[in-house]
Structure formats: structure tokens, C-alpha cells
Structure 1
């Protein structure tokens, strides 16, 4: 996986900003990041022309004021000992488009956005960013704490699950092996199991053994760097694996969930997978990292920005 040297942090002048700045500092410290773009997008600066003619410096002063407010939040919540270059960016327009354009222009490695539940404000369009960004996306719930003692990696043993697990291994390696990685596979008993002459319990055991065999094949393809991975098998009782993932994350007190974006080529870049989509929608308690190898959306990003 690639190094996280450049980061975009999406701020919106709510209490969420403090949490995001703390997470940015945490990530920058662990990755020796070089550059952070603290970004705020104003939805609409529609000011009548006659007003602008009378007050020609109005927009410039508004933007400068917004930057100063961002700088204050960063000064109060960012580790002053970290030697990271910071730039404060204020844009007008649609948030996702402006952030995507900045990420593309600056070739950033990760975007940080907030996930709100009680704090006022609309927040950011996380799903659009997850689908369209050419880098990884970290979605941080309000009041989350930046730590990585336990990492949950949901896996269906696919290539994009491999990307996510490799990211977890790299994070753990940077954390001197102190993080615990749990690789969760959610399996289900097919509705037609009774045609086999097996009971529900018997076929459940067959599906479990199949998952265990597939995990062994899957893990052999990955350089674990001598880091212990704990496999976890969860039987899906309600035909909704996303609920099982979220429940397990909360049960084990996971500090982060890591999933891989499904699109691995330019043709599939807009598809992050149904499980990833629903995790973004439903999970509001645990930080969620959607990994994408840098540049996978290159070649279509310019087209997207024109939509």
C-alpha cells in the first residue's frame, strides 16, 4: 500500500472540526505525512452585483475570515510538535466536486470527512466521495477517538478485501505490532439447504467449514509480515451482513473498520460494492476507512468533475 503523505481534511465550522483535526494529526504522526489541506466549501456566495460593486473586497474578506477561523481550530487541536505543512483552502460550490478536484490536482492520498448524528449541519456526501475519489476515504463519526488498538476488516476473500487487510497490516506494522486485527467473514445458510437432506444446523456447519477453508486460501496470498490475524466467522441470521458487521464492531469495541473499494479498474471505478455502500449509510459509531489504491480513478476523474 502507498504512504499517506498528502491529506485533505473537510471542515465545516461545526464541533465536528475538532475531531477531524485530531484524527488528521494522528494519521500524520503515524505516516510522517508532509502536507495537509484543511478545506472548507461554501455552498453559495451569491451576492448581487451592485453590492459587490459597492463593497469590492467583501468576498475576499469573507474567505479570509473563514480561513482564520479554520486556523484557530487547527491551532487548538493539532499537535504542535508535528512538522507538517498546512494549507487552508476555501472554495465555493458543491462540496464533493470541489474536494474531488482538489484531491486530483494535489494528488492526495487520503480524504477525511465527518459523519454526523447530532451536530447541526448536513456534513459531506461520503458516498459520492467514496465512489469517485482516486484515493482512500476515512469517514469519522462525531466524538470518535483517534486510536487503532482494534481493527475490524470485513472480508469476502476477494481482491478488494485483500487490499483492506493489507492496509490493516501496514497500519499495525507502523503501530509496532500493537494493533489487533480481526478479519470477519459473514456467511449465510442458503434457503434451499433442505433439498440436500441436511438439517439447518448441519448445513450451517458445512458453510462454516467452507468459510474456514476459503480463509486459509485467502490468507496464504497475503504477506502478513508476521502479524497475527484473528479470523472471525459470523453466521448471518437476517440476510443483512452489514448489520452483523456493525454489531460485531461495536461488540469488540473496534477502533476502525477497513473495507476495500470494489472498483479496481477505470471501467469499474464508480462501484465501491453494495456492502461498502450500506456500511457508509448505516455505520455512525466507528471510523470507517474505504481503501482504494491511489490513482485507480485516474482517467475518468476529469469526466466526473464535468457532470
Structure 2
């Protein structure tokens, strides 16, 4: 996978900014990050022309004030980190549209956004960016603590699951190889199992056995770099694998969940997968990384067409 050399951090002047900047510092420490764009988007202000004529410096003063607050926050958490260039960007307009455009123009490797729980706001931005961005997306919930002792990678053994696993291995390697990686496969029992003459328990054992076989085939194709990966097999009892994933993440006290976006080409760019979509919607406590190989999306096309 790729280095996170260019990172976009989306700030909104709420209490969540503090958490996001701390995470940005954590990510940048060992990722050879060269440039971080701290971004704040002002919604369309619709200031009357007459007001702007009377106060010509109104907008510029607002921009300068926001940049100043971002600079103070970054100075608080970053200290001195040689080799990292900071840029503070304040734009006016539609939030997702401006971020997508910036990510495309700067060829960003990752976008970092916040996930509000108690603070005002919604998760719509995260879903839009996950569908349209041409890079990975890291979603940080309120009060999250930057550490990666345990990573959970939900997997159906597909190519995009392979992307997520390789990303998890790279992250673990960069943080000293001490992080534990759990690869979770959620399997279900087909409704027609009884026609086989097997009991529910017997067919569940058969499904788990095939999951174990497929995991071995899957992991053989990946360079684990000596990182220990523990497979987990979860039987889906209620046709809701997202609940199973979040339940397992809570059980193992995961510090992050990593999942691959389903769309790997421009033609499938908007389809990140129903599992990733619902994880973005339902997860409000654990950092979630939605991986997409850089450039494997038509994000700028979405921007132009305003889909």
C-alpha cells in the first residue's frame, strides 16, 4: 500500500477539532507525511452586496480568524516535527464538494473527518466522501484516543478485503509490529439448510469449516511481514453482519476498524459496499478506516456533475 504523504484534515471549529488534530499528529509521526492540509469550509454565507461594500474586509477577516485558530490548535498538538509542511485552507461553499476538489487537486492520500455523537452534526459527509473520494477515508469519533494496539479487519476474502488487510499490516509494521490484527469473517446459515438433511448446528459447522479454508487461501496471497493475524469466525444469527462486527470490535477492545471500499474502478466508484455504508452509519465509538487505493475513483467526476 501507499505512504500517507499528503493528508487532509477536515475541521469545523467544534470541540471535535482537538481530537482530529491529535490523530493527525499520531498518523504523521511514522508515516513519512510531508504535507498536511487543515481545512475549514464555511457554508455559503449569502452576504448582501451592500454589506460587503460597506465592510470590504469582512470575509477576509473571517478567513484570517479561522486560520489563526487552526494554527494555534496545530501548534498545541504537533510541537516540532521536522519535514512536515502545514497548510491552512479556508473555503466557502458546499462542504463535501470543496473537500473532494481539494483532495483531487492536491493528490491526497487520505482524508480525515470527525464523527459526532453528542456534538451537533450528522454523518452524511462521511458517506459522501467514502463514495466519491479518490483516496482512503479515516473517520474519527468524538473522544477517540489515538492508539492501535488492536485492529479489526472484517473480511469476505475479496480483493477489496485484501486491500484492507494489507493496509492493516502496513500500519502495524510502522507502529513497531506490536499491534494485534484480527481478521473477522461473518458467515450466515442459508435458509434452505434443512433440505440437506443436516441439523442447524451441523450446517453451521460446515459453513465455519469453509470459512477457515477460504481464510487460509486468502492469507497465503498476502505478505504479512511477520505480523501475527488472528482469524475470527462469527455466525450471523440475525442477518445483520454490521452488529456482529461492532460487537466483536467492542469485545476485543479494538482501537480501529479497517474495511475496503468496494468500488475499485471509475465505473464502480460510487459503490463502497453496503457493509461499509452501514458501518459508517452505525459506528460511533471506534476509528474507522475505509481504504481505497489512491486514484481508484471518479471523485472529481462526481464533483463536476454534483451527483
The normalised TM-score by structure 2 is: 0.97
Q: What residue in structure 2 maps to residue 178 of structure 1? A: 178
Alignment of 1:46-125 (within 5 A): 46-122=46-122, 125=125
> Kindly tell me: are residues 123 and 59 of structure 1, through their superposed partners in 2, closer, same or farther at Cα, counting changes over 3 Å?
farther
**Is residue 155 of structure 2 the alignment partner of residue 155 of structure 1?**
yes
Q: What residue in structure 2 maps to residue 22 of structure 1? A: 22
**Is residue 298 of structure 2 the alignment partner of residue 306 of structure 1?**
no
SS in 1 for 2:37: strand
CA distance in 2, matches of 1:78, 1:13: 18
State the shift of 1:216 in Å.
0.7
State the shift of 1:83 in Å.
3.8
Alignment of 1:29-40 (within 5 A): 29-40=29-40
Q: What residue in structure 1 maps to residue 274 of structure 2? A: 274
How many residues in Structure 1 have an aligned counterpart in Structure 2?
A: 306
Q: What residue in structure 2 maps to residue 243 of structure 1? A: 243
| Matched-pair contact (CA < 8 Å) for 2:101–2:303 | no
State the shift of 1:78 in Å.
2.4
Which stretch of the first structure deviates more once superposed, 67-76 or 265-274?
A: 67-76
State the shift of 1:199 in Å.
0.5
The gaps in structure 1 that reach 5 residues or longer are none
CA distance in 2, matches of 1:74, 1:8: 13
State the shift of 1:123 in Å.
6.3
The gaps in structure 2 that reach 5 residues or longer are none
SS in 1 for 2:21: helix
CA distance in 2, matches of 1:118, 1:219: 39
| Matched-pair contact (CA < 8 Å) for 2:132–2:302 | no
State the shift of 1:269 in Å.
0.9
Cα deviation 1:143-201 (Å, max 9, x = unaligned): 00111100000000000000000000111111121110000000111111111111011
Q: What residue in structure 2 maps to residue 192 of structure 1? A: 192
Q: What residue in structure 2 maps to residue 202 of structure 1? A: 202
| Matched-pair contact (CA < 8 Å) for 1:160–1:260 | yes
CA distance in 1, matches of 2:122, 2:302: 26
Q: What residue in structure 2 maps to residue 234 of structure 1? A: 234
| Matched-pair contact (CA < 8 Å) for 2:100–2:303 | no
Q: What residue in structure 1 maps to residue 129 of structure 2? A: 129
CA distance in 1, matches of 2:81, 2:303: 38
The normalised TM-score by structure 1 is: 0.97
| Matched-pair contact (CA < 8 Å) for 2:139–2:289 | yes
